Structure formats: structure tokens, C-alpha cells
Amino acid sequence: MKYKVEYLEPDDLKKLQLDRLREVSMHLYNNVAYYREAFNNLGMKPSDINSLDDLGNLPLTDKETLRTYYPFGMFSVPMSLVREIHGSSGTTGKPTVVAYTENDIKVWSEVMARSIACTGGTYQDIIQNAYGYGLFTGGLGVHYGALELGAAIVPMSSGGSKRQLQLMQDFKTTILTCTPSYSLYLAEFAESMNIDPKKTTLKIGILGAEPWSDGMRREIEEIWNIKAYDIYGLSEIIGPGVAVECEGQHGLHIWADHFLPEVINPETGKPVAEGEDGMLVITTLTKEATPFLRYATKDIVSMTYEKCPACGRTSPRISRIKGRTDDMLIIRGINVFPSQIESVLLEIEETEPHYQLVVSREGALDELEVQVEVNEKFFSDEIRTLEALGKRIKQEIENVLSIAVKVKLVEPRTITRSEGKAKRVIDKRNI
Amino acid sequence: MHVKQISIFMENRAGRLEEITSVLAKENINIRAISLADTSDFGILRLIVNKPVDAVEILRKEGFTIRENEVIACVIEDRPGGLHSMLELFAKSELSIEYMYGFFERHTDKAVMIIRVNDPARAIKILLDGGVELLRGEQVYSL
């Protein structure tokens, strides 16, 4: 299936983007105090926007902004028009909240259907969706896209590997959607069940929600005998379906008719030259409930406007995520901020607020070890007391992060103190 | 009847124990009894030494995480059933032992058990009533 808008001439795309930018700016100016103030501070009205470049004057919106206006301060429609609310990890205890009107769900379904189609998926496919269903946007986003495309969807959600493989064989799944690391884990699991992953009916993997490399892609393609495509999205923009690879597998087509991308130097805030690395900033052009102007994704990418030599689409392409401008970690597809762990430890009086996170990949799956210094005042010489403390810390952290962690108690003063910004994270994953 | 024991929190890593013994050796501190409890991630070293006050001071100064505890030192006959008759006293009184470890005392040919309980006062009374010989701190330190 071909979506014409993905093949627009650059000038036509720009015109469409400008019309939509003015419309969404007006909507935000009228309904969200934060944006009205931003325009007023510039002595500017949405009607003064004459080109896409005018956007560059507006301040960035980021997770901090969403935290300040938690929970509903950034909503631009009354709750009676909201159909769905999602959230993702905030930098501390509270999640960032995003909402969808009926039309937002339609747009989400459309961009996700386009993403599946871009990888070669059609209404004839059977899609096994192993992204988590829930507040996390991964599961439902893919689900809506598959419905829109007319494919058959098996809403497995994450985990339950034995069942995943059983049903994959029985239902003759053709597309698997999950994190890249889970697809590898599942292949290893298949082998342990004496199932040859190469002999399944699977032909496409649409993998995302965590950074991965071309090396990992080759491994996944080899072990499953499939084509593996990178998909990009974030809940603040819409969820999965913001950008995806085509058969060329060189860059992710960003659906720029809905999401206006900029790549800026995170320090100066100025746009970088085409092809240079910088922070991806996205303006949602068509969202109704929680549109954001210039949302700072904190993801480092490069971008090209060159027409795709493989598929002929003219929508700009972003590179794989090359890094982050903040200290966010992505572990098993879940966003984790060290500050979330810090806020938990500050509540536990037996520990010092000194900690270190060690991320590693055991087999195919990420492991997060939290090393915590025991406070001398509370050091007990009974093993069970210390083990109970470790267990309590583990539970408190897991409650906040929603992923399993390993807690290791270490001696006081053994975690390196550094001048200024502490080195909190040791990432041993080679990705 | 209390004996001072020093517990040290230790990460499980090569050379850590040696760092502790090196500090003690340098300060001329003699270890009377030693026990190491371990889990997969950390260990707890328990020591009875000849100069507990000095040992605590120097270990703390060297940055070790330590705790002082009171334990009981019981003398038992070095013969089959020697430990058993003492433990019978604990069982009968439903007194539970947190941990214990033993060493052999060369001057008297007797074994000494170091015992940690939740309620030391009660344990001491039961042991004394049961005819068990207990050692005072100074006696243990100077063995």
C-alpha cells in the first residue's frame, strides 16, 4: 500500500507543514497557557508564522516542562474530548502524561499502519505484537496500526516466551514486533525448546524502543532468517510510528506530514547542517489533545532530506539513535533515569545516596545492577538483616521503574566520588 | 560475661580480606577467633582480637565498615557430645542462636564456642545454671 503523502515534492511537503504548523500553534495559543506565554514573550502571534524557520524562535518543550505542568497542564482540549491517556518515565517519580482525542488515535493508527507498510507488511500479514500493552505506548500503538492496515493482530504483550513461540508456530505469524533484544532472546529461547527459528513462518521484525546497531540487526536477521527494521517513536510525540526504515535499511523515514523534525546543536540551540549529528526536536503538526511545539527528544541523530534511493519516498530520513543528550538509559525498552533511582534511595535511611548503575547484557537481555552503599550506622552483622535491606531496596526501585533490577550492597565510600557531576552509570552493553 | 566481637562488612572481591589482615598485622593485633559469613554479593567477617578497642579504632580509621557486638564465649569439653550438651540447654529454653563459631584453646585442651543470641542476659543465666563455664572478655583476649 502506497501513501502519496510520503512521496510529496519538497515544496509541497513544506507548504503542508506550514499550514499545519500555523493551525496547531493557534490551537495551542488559545488553549495552553505555557505556549501562549511563549508566544507573548517573543511578542509574536501564531499568525505571524510565515515560514517553518520562524519556529526556531520558540523555546523547546521537554520532560521537565511536562513535569512542571503535571498532570493535565499541557492538555489543550477538555477532558470530555480525551479518549486515551498514556505515560512514560519522568525524570523522577512522576510519569510524563500524554493524551489522545479520537482523531489523535486515528492519526496514530495511520502513522503506525504506514510504518508497518513501509517495512513491507500488508493486510495479509499476521502480526505478533510482543510490545507491552498498557500505559507504555508500544503495545497499543502497534495494535492500532495493525487494525488500520487490516492485518491480523495477535496481542501477546511482552514476556511469556514459551507461549510466544508456541503461538508463533501454531498461528503462523509473519511479523514480530518487539524490542530488538527481546527478538534475540526469543530466538535463543526457541533453540532451547528445540525450535529452529529459521524455520518459522516469520519474515519481518519491526523492532524498536531501544537503541541497537547494524551488527545486532545482522545477528537478528541471520538467527531468524528475516528482515529486521528499526522503528522509532516516543510517547510524547505519539508513541511508536514516528519514523521507520524501508527496505533500503538506511535511515528511518520520519512521517514529516505529522511530525516536523529539526536537528539542532544541543548546546547552542542552532540547527546543524544536513547530515550532521545533533538533537532531534519534533513538533507535532496534527495532534489535538497534547500537541507540543519543538519537543526536545534528547536523542542524537543526523537527518537527510535526500530522496530515498531505495524506495523513492521524499520524507526525510533520520539515522539510528546515536546517543542521548541526557543520562537516560533504555533498559529492555523501558526508559530509566538515574534520578528516579536516586529519589528512591533518598527515602531509605539505611543507605547513603551514593549509588552506581551497572548495565550489562546477559545473553540477549539487559541487566541493571544498582550498587548501593550501606550506611555504617545501620550495618548489621546479621546476614538476614542485610539481605532484607537489599530486598527492600530492590522492591522500592522496581515499584518506580517497572523493571526487574539487581541490588548489590557495597561498602561505604567505595563508589567513586567525582568532582561535579557524579559518574552514575557504567554501561557495559556493546550496542 | 560479655566478649567484644568486631564485625566487618566486606564486598566479595579478591584481596579484600588481605587488606584487613594487613591492617591488623601492622598494628600488632592478634586474632583470637575468626569467622566469615558470606552471601553471593557480600561477606561479614567476625573477629575476636586481643586488643578490641585499638582494633576498632584502627579499622574505622582505615575506612572499614564495622560494628561491635557482644557475644558469649562458652567453654566446652573437647569430646564427642561436648557441644551437644550445651545446645540442649538452648533447645530446652527455646533460645535461638543467631550464629556461632568455635576455636580450640591450646592451654587447656578445651574448645571455646562463640555464640551470638538475641537475649544475651537470659542466655548467660541459662548457661551458668546449666553448669557451663563462660569466659570473660579479658580471658578470651589474652588466650
CATH (domain of A352)? 3.30.300.30
Share of chain B above pLDDT 70, in %: 100
Task: Indicate if A359 and A232 belong to the same structural domain.
Answer: no
User: Is A1 or A425 the better-scoring residue by pLDDT?
Assistant: A425
Q: Mean pLDDT, to the nearest integer, of A7-12?
A: 96
Q: Which residues contact A218 (CB under 8 A, 6 or more apart)?
A: none
Q: Would you state the cell numbers that stand for residue A189, as one nine-digit string?
A: 529461547
- Contact list in A for residue B63 (CB cut-off 8 A) is 412-413
Task: List the beta strands (DSSP E) in chain B.
Answer: 2-11, 31-38, 42-49, 65-76, 97-105, 110-117, 133-135
For residue B41, the distance in angstroms to the closest alpha carbon of chain A comes to: 6
CA distance A369 to chain B (A): 12
Q: Is A50 helix (H, G, I), strand (E, B) or coil?
A: coil
Residues A343 and A251 in one domain: no
Q: What is the CATH number of the domain that holds A163?
A: 3.40.50.12780
Asked if residue A32 is part of any domain, the answer here is no
- A408 inside 8 A of chain B by CB: yes
What is the pLDDT of chain B when averaged over all its residues?
91
Q: Using the predicted structure, report yes or no on whether residue A419 has a pLDDT greater than 60.
A: no
**Alpha carbon of residue B26 to chain centroid:** 22
**Shared domain check, A350 and A259:** no
Tell me which residue in B9, B46, B63 faces A374 most closely, judged by beta carbons: B9
Contact (Cβ atoms closer than 8 angstroms) between residue A236 and residue A258: no
For residue A221, pLDDT beyond 60: yes
> A166-190: buried (b, 16+ CB within 10 Å) or exposed (e) per residue?
eebbeeebbbbbbbbbbbbbbbebb
Q: Is the Cβ pair A383, B66 closer than 8 Å?
A: no
Q: Per the CB < 8 Å rule, is B99 touching A382?
A: yes
| Grid-cell match 527515602, residue found | A347
B37 lies within 8 A of chain A by CB? yes
Residues A304 and A372 in one domain: no
C-alpha torsion A329→A334→A335→A336, nearest 10: -60
Distance CA A318, CA A299 (A): 11
Inform me whether the pLDDT recorded for B52 exceeds 60.
Answer: yes
Nearest CA of chain A to the CA of B99: how many Å?
Answer: 9
β A227-234/A204-208 pair status = parallel
Residues 109-138 of B with CB under 8 A from A: 116
* B9 in contact with chain A, both atoms CB, cutoff 8 A: yes
The verdict on residue A27 lying in a domain is no
Of A326, A352, A369, the residue at which a domain comes to its end is: A326
Q: Assign domain B71-141 one CATH number from 3.30.70.260, 1.10.150.120, 1.10.3720.10, 3.50.50.60.
A: 3.30.70.260
Mutant choice from B3, B6, B9, B100 vs A, greatest count of A C-beta within 10 A: B9
A379:B41 CB<8 A: no
CB contact under 8 A, B42 and A376: no
Lowest mean pLDDT among A251-255, A346-350, B41-45, B68-72: A346-350
Which of A387, A390, A414 is the closest to B11 by Cβ? A414
- Cα B78 to its chain centre, rounded Å, is 18
| A273–B contact, CB cutoff 8 A | no
* Alpha-helical segments (H) within A42-179: 63-68, 102-118, 137-149, 161-171
Same domain, A349 and A365: yes
Question: Shortest CB distance from A409 goes to which of B41, B69, B98?
Answer: B41
Q: Which of B13, B42, B59, B66 to mutate to test the interface with A (most CBs of A within 10 A)?
A: B42
Which amino acid is present at A155?
Answer: P
B-chain CB neighbours of A376 within 8 Å are 65-66
Q: Does residue A394 belong to the interface with chain B, where contact is any CB pair within 8 Å?
A: no
Residue A44 in any domain: the answer is: no
Disruptive mutation site among A381, A408, A415 for chain B (greatest number of B CBs within 10 Å): A381
Instruction: Give the distance between the most distant pair of CA atoms in chain B.
Output: 45
pLDDT, tens only, A174-208: 999 999 989 999 998 999 999 999 999 999 999 99
A224 and A346 fall within a common domain: no
Give the total number of structural domains in chain A: 2
A271 and A294 share one domain: yes
Beta bridge partners of A336: A329
**Would you call A358 an interface residue with chain B, using a CB distance cutoff of 8 Å?**
no
ipTM attached to this prediction: 0.81
Between B96 and A420, residue with greater pLDDT: B96
Alpha carbon B75 to chain centroid, angstroms? 13
Percent of chain A with pLDDT over 90: 75
Q: What's residue B77's pLDDT?
A: 84
Distance of CA B124 to the CA centre of its chain: 15
The residues, ordered by sequence, that sit 6+ positions from A376 with a Cβ below 8 Å of its Cβ are: A412, B65, B66
How does residue A348 score in pLDDT terms, banded at 50, 70 and 90? confident
Q: Looking at A305, A326, A347, which one is the last position of a domain?
A: A326
User: A182 lies in a domain?
Assistant: yes
Do B47 and B55 touch, CB atoms closer than 8 A? yes
Q: Please name the residue of chain A whose CA is at the shortest distance from the CA of residue B37.
A: A383
Q: Do A413 and B39 touch (CB under 8 A)?
A: no
| pLDDT tens, position by position, A379-414 | 888 888 889 999 999 999 998 888 899 999 998 878
Specify whether A315 is located in the same domain as A232: yes
Say if residue A215 is in the same domain as residue A267.
yes
User: If you count them, how many residues does chain A have?
Assistant: 431
d(CA A228, CA A179): 11
Residue A4 has pLDDT above 70, yes or no: yes
pLDDT in tens, B121-130: 999 999 999 9
Are A247 and A174 in a shared domain? yes
Cβ contacts of A412 on chain B, cutoff 8 Å: 63, 65
Q: What is the pLDDT of residue A92?
A: 67
Domain boundaries, chain B: 2-70, 71-141
Return the CATH superfamily for domain B2-70.
VC0802-like (3.30.2130.10)
Residue A91 confidence (pLDDT) above 80 = no
Torsion angle defined by CA atoms of residues A41, A26, A115 and A145, in that order, rounded to the nearest 10 degrees? 120
Q: Is A414 on the interface with B (CB under 8 A)?
A: yes
Is residue B80 packed enough to be buried (19+ CB in 10 Å), middle (13-18) or exposed (0-12)? Answer: exposed
In order, the DSSP letters of A301-367 are E-EE-SPPTTT---S-EE----EESS--EEETTEEE-HHHHHHHHHT-TTEEEEEEEEEEEETTEEE
pLDDT band at A362 (very low <50, low <70, confident <90, very high): confident
Q: What is the pLDDT of residues A238-280, one digit of tens each?
A: 999 999 999 999 999 999 999 999 999 999 999 999 999 999 9
Q: Which amino acid is at A218?
A: R
Q: What is the DSSP letter of A417?
A: P
Instruction: Quickly tell me which residue has 492496515 as its cell.
Output: A149
Model confidence over A115-157: pLDDT tens digits? 999 999 999 999 999 999 999 999 999 999 999 999 999 999 9
Whether residue A201 lies within 8 A of chain B, CB to CB, comes out as: no
Is position A274 within any domain?
Answer: yes
The residues, ordered by sequence, that sit 6+ positions from A379 with a Cβ below 8 Å of its Cβ are A386, B7, B9, B65, B66, B67
pLDDT digits (tens, 9 = 90+) for A42-76: 999 999 999 999 999 999 999 999 999 999 999 99
Sheet holding A351-362, edge to edge: A406-410, A365-374, A351-362, A425-427
Look up residue B18 and give its three cell numbers. 588481605
Question: Predicted confidence band at A93 (pLDDT cuts at 50, 70, 90)?
Answer: low
Residues spanned by the domain of A304 = 67-326
Average pLDDT over residues A22-47: 96
Contact between chains at B42 and A410 (C-beta distance less than 8 A): yes
Residue A111, domain member (yes or no): yes
Predicted local distance difference test score (pLDDT) of residue A45: 95
Asked if the domains B2-70 and B71-141 are classified in one and the same CATH topology, the answer is no
A259: number of Cβ within 10 Å: 24
Q: From A385, which residue of chain B is nearest by alpha-carbon distance? A: B98
Question: Using CB atoms, which residue from B46, B65, B116 is nearest to A411?
Answer: B65
Q: Is A288 helix (H, G, I), strand (E, B) or coil?
A: coil
Across A94-103, A356-365, B15-24, B111-120, least confident range: A356-365
Q: Is B104 helix (H, G, I), strand (E, B) or coil?
A: strand
- Measured in degrees and rounded to the nearest 5, phi and psi for residue A186 equal -65, -35
Ranking A164-178, A300-314, B100-114 by mean pLDDT, the lowest is B100-114
For residue A399, give the C-alpha cell.
515499584
A410 reaches B (C-beta below 8 A) = yes
Instruction: Please indicate, yes or no, whether residues A388 and A271 belong to a single structural domain of this protein.
Output: no
In angstroms, the separation between the Cα of residue B78 and the nearest Cα of chain A is 28
Pick B11's closest partner by Cβ from A376, A380, A411. A411
d(CA A114, CA A231): 11
Nearest one of A121, A113, A163 to A142, comparing CA atoms:
A113
Higher per-residue pLDDT: A238 or A420: A238
pLDDT at B11: 85
Helix, strand, coil share of chain B (percent; to 5):
35, 40, 25
| 3-class secondary structure per residue, A217-256 | HHHHHHHHCCEEEEEEEECCCCEEEEEEECCCCCCEEECC
> Checking DSSP bridges between strand A96-101 and strand A126-129, what pairing results, if any?
unpaired
End-of-domain residue from the set A310, A326, A342: A326
A411 contacts B7? CB cut-off 8 A: no
* Overall residue count recorded for chain B in this entry: 143
Residue B15 sits at the chain A interface (C-beta within 8 Å)? no
Distance separating the N- and C-terminal Cα atoms of chain A: 33
DSSP-derived 3-state class of residue B23: helix
Q: Check residue A418 and give its pLDDT.
A: 58
Give me the sign of the Cα torsion angle A348, A350, A355, A361: negative
Claim to verify: residue A167 and residue A184 sit in the same structural domain: yes
